[in-house]
Structure 1
Amino acid sequence: MKDNVETARSGATSTCRESVEAELLRRNQELTELNEKLSRAQEQLLQSEKLASIGQLAAGVAHEINNPISFVFSNFGTLQTYLADLLRVLAQYEKAEQFIANPQMVEQIAALRQQVDLDFLMDDVPVLMSESREGIERVRKIVQDLKDFSRVDAHQDWQWANLHHGIDSTLNIVNNEVKYKADIVKEYGDIPEVECLPSQINQVIMNIVVNGAQAISGPRGRITIRTGTGEGHVWIEIGDNGNGIPKTILSRIFDPFFTTKAIGSGTGLGLSLSYGIIQKHHGRIEVQSEPGVGTVFRIELPIKHDEERDQSEVHE
């Protein structure tokens, strides 16, 4: 009888323990899911703050630079016309020198011509004007690229965008980070416009390209950007021939705050934010890497944004 009671007690204890363990597992699973949702929300918040900062910077730069550049550019065109007229007048005066009767005056003009090297000035002034105009046009292009990159003149709405234009604008923005490290090779395919958040896609491109440049050490490297289309989606591949990523950490590169850079050299948020952006677009981002060979990121984006899927995810 005593044995039966102990067996019953043991069975009840075992059942109770199993029930408690099951409840702990269930609660742990719930906490894990909540933590993942919190992490995603944090990533989106950080991304929104970063994009807002970039937008404010672009707006300030555009305002401060565009105004003086506009009137300088306008004045420059007028100045070129004036100089062309002056050079034509000088050319006529040069022809008239032979008809001057006063030998002393002719001698003074010849001495002044030699002193200022008039022939050289007449050849060099148009060249300098042309180079200066080109420089001003480049400044205007940089400002426009910055506006295109951050879309400061548009709301954060889903819109149809030419990804190639966005990539080109982003490359101009990060040119200083890349130009001393690598050559950019573009192998663009024939792709349609994509319904997306253009500034956020540009942010992804920027993060990956800058990371690729930073992964290149030693001899000058190469970053190749390819695009193409599949069934209902477009894809972008960004590959570099840098140091590559060890397999032991490859699965962690999209984790928030994970970085292999020295302290103070990076937050570890770039690729994590990029992952969140692509997920927000219902796309995919994958990476293949081999140490000593290089890394390739592949992004797939649906051509048409699925609003119904957004709504269903909000209500989950």
Structure 2
Amino acid sequence: MQNYYKAYLREKQARDELEELLEQKTSKLYALNIELEKKLEQLQQQQVAVVQSEKMATLGTLSAGVAHEINNPLAYLTCNLDTLASYSEEIGSYLRAITKLINNEQTFEQFKSEIDQLQQSVTTSDLIQDVSDISEDCIEGCQRISKIVANLLDFAKPKIETDTEFDTHEVIEHATELLKNKLKQVQVTIDCEKELIITGNKANLTQAFINVLVNAAQSCNEKRELDPQYKATLKIKARNRDNHAVIDIRDNGKGIEEGVINKVFDPFFSTKPLGEGTGMGLAVVYGIISNHHGVVSISNNGEGGATISIQIPLSNSTNPLS
């Protein structure tokens, strides 16, 4: 009996020691988990900051083009308003003549004579048509400026968005619209299948496409400096392949030196002269695409230029890329 009791005590002591050890390990694991969550939150905040910083750098390259895009409609708005101001005296003369007739301040014969005299400078039909045309042009110009500013603000302002569903084509159109002036010397063709619906952060994905397109435009400009007869082309093609949106962005620019092509997605790596690039453009692209469970790769084209290929799972995909 004594032996059984001693065995029981040894077993109880071992069990207590195990429970104490387990409790210590659980406490340590909990503390490590809390620390890991804090680190993850910091990394997410830093990623948002890096993306926003890259946006500001991109805005610098877009600013001249955006100013030009706004100046065009602003110029014909100013011209049309000047014309409208010059018509104000003629319109006022017609209205004064009608008012005098209504108030019996002149006879119909006097009214007709005054109108005939006014018609010799500007006819009523011309006034009506011109004012209508001017109004339509002014409305179109204001809408164009409003759209440019809205696109720019939507791109520039920092956002922490929840994931939403959207069509890949919308993002491509938005990116090319923002870069319209920067791509004006490049023949851009977009061939995108309909209903390539993906889930993610639309603003960040737009940023990724803008970064890729800016690099392609710069590569084309560099080649144009070497060959004035060169015709720049940029082809954007999006297809559904194995339940993934596959977007190929192909330019016929300078291409990338084979010795550095494996480094282009590295943070702070840049082939541009010092002070002309942040070295974060394609690194941000890599991070954004990875966050959408996708992959991005780059390769030189046999006939010149480079192609960036992006693959992102569609919303109904059950096998995201790793």
Please confirm whether the aligned pair reaches a TM-score higher than 0.5, indicating the same fold. yes
SS at match of 1:157: coil
Task: Quote the residue 1:168 is aligned against.
Answer: 173
Contact residue 184 and residue 224 of structure 1 kept, 8 A: yes
1:195 is aligned to 2:196: no
Q: Give 1:1-316 correspondences, 5 Å limit.
A: 44=47, 46-50=49-53, 100-102=108-110, 106=113, 108-116=114-122, 118-146=124-152, 149=155, 155-179=160-184, 181-216=185-220, 217=224, 218=228, 219-290=230-301, 293-304=304-315
Would the aligned equivalents of 1:237 and 1:296 in 2 still touch at CA under 8 Å? Answer: yes
Distance in 2 separating the partners of 1:290 and 1:52: 28
Report the secondary structure of 1:112's partner residue: helix
Report the number of matched residues: 235
Provide, for residues 208-241 of structure 1, a one-character-per-residue CA deviation record: whole Å limited to 9, x for no partner.
Answer: 1111111112444221111111223211111111
1:281 CA displacement: 2.1
Question: Using a 3 Å threshold, how does the CA distance of structure 1 residues 176 and 109 change in structure 2: closer, same or farther?
Answer: same
1:51 Cα shift?
A: 7.1
Cα deviation for residue 203 of structure 1 reads 0.8
Residue type at the aligned position of 2:210 = M
Output the CA distance in 2 between the equivalents of 1:254 and 1:303: 24
- Partner letter of residue 177 of structure 1? K
Quote the offset at 1:162 in angstroms.
1.7
Q: 1:130 to 1:123 in 2, by over 3 A?
A: same
Q: Shift of the alpha carbon at 1:303? A: 2.2
How far 1:119 sits from its partner (Å)? 4.5
Q: Displacement, 1:186?
A: 0.8
Residues 1:172 and 1:143: Cα distance change in structure 2 (over 3 Å) = same
Q: 1:49: how far off?
A: 3.6
SS at match of 1:238: strand
What percentage of aligned pairs have identical amino acids? Answer: 27
C-alpha separation in 2, matches of 1:43 and 1:209: 24
TM-aligned CA distance change 1:287 to 1:53, over 3 Å? closer
Deviation track 1:85-119 (CA, whole Å, cap 9, x = no partner) reads x8xx98xx7xx9xx95349x72x543433334654
The Cα shift of 1:158 comes to: 2.0
1:114/1:177 CA distance change after superposition, 3 Å: same
Paired residue secondary structure (1:175): coil
Structure 2 gaps, min length 5: 1-39, 58-87, 102-106
Query: Is the 8 Å Cα contact of residues 225 and 236 (structure 1) preserved in structure 2?
Result: yes
Q: Distance in 2 between matches of 1:296 and 1:280?
A: 21
- The 1:41–1:157 alpha-carbon spacing in structure 2 relative to 1, beyond 3 Å, is closer
1:45 deviation in Å? 5.4
- Please report how far the alpha carbon of residue 156 of structure 1 lies from its aligned counterpart in structure 2 after TM superposition: 2.2
* C-alpha displacement of 1:261: 1.9
**1:115 aligns to what SS in structure 2?**
coil
Where structure 1 has 5 or more consecutive residues not aligned to the other structure, the ranges are: 1-36, 55-82
TM superposition shift of 1:276? 1.6
Change (3 A) 1:45 1:192: closer
The residue type equivalent to 1:110 in the other structure is D
CA drift of 1:244 comes to 1.4
Please give the secondary structure, in 2, of the residue aligned with 1:101: helix
1:304 Cα deviation after fit: 4.3
Preserved CA contact (<8 Å) 1:148 1:166? no
Task: In structure 1, give the amino acid aligned to 2:109.
Answer: A
Q: CA RMSD in A?
A: 4.1
Normalization by structure 1: what TM-score?
0.61
- Provide the rounded CA distance (Å) in 2 between the counterparts of 1:124 and 1:207: 44
Secondary structure at 1:268's aligned position in 2? Answer: coil
Partner AA of 2:214 in structure 1: V
**Distance of 1:303 and 1:112 partners within structure 2:** 67
> What is the alpha-carbon distance in structure 2 between the residues aligned to residue 222 and residue 51 of structure 1?
25
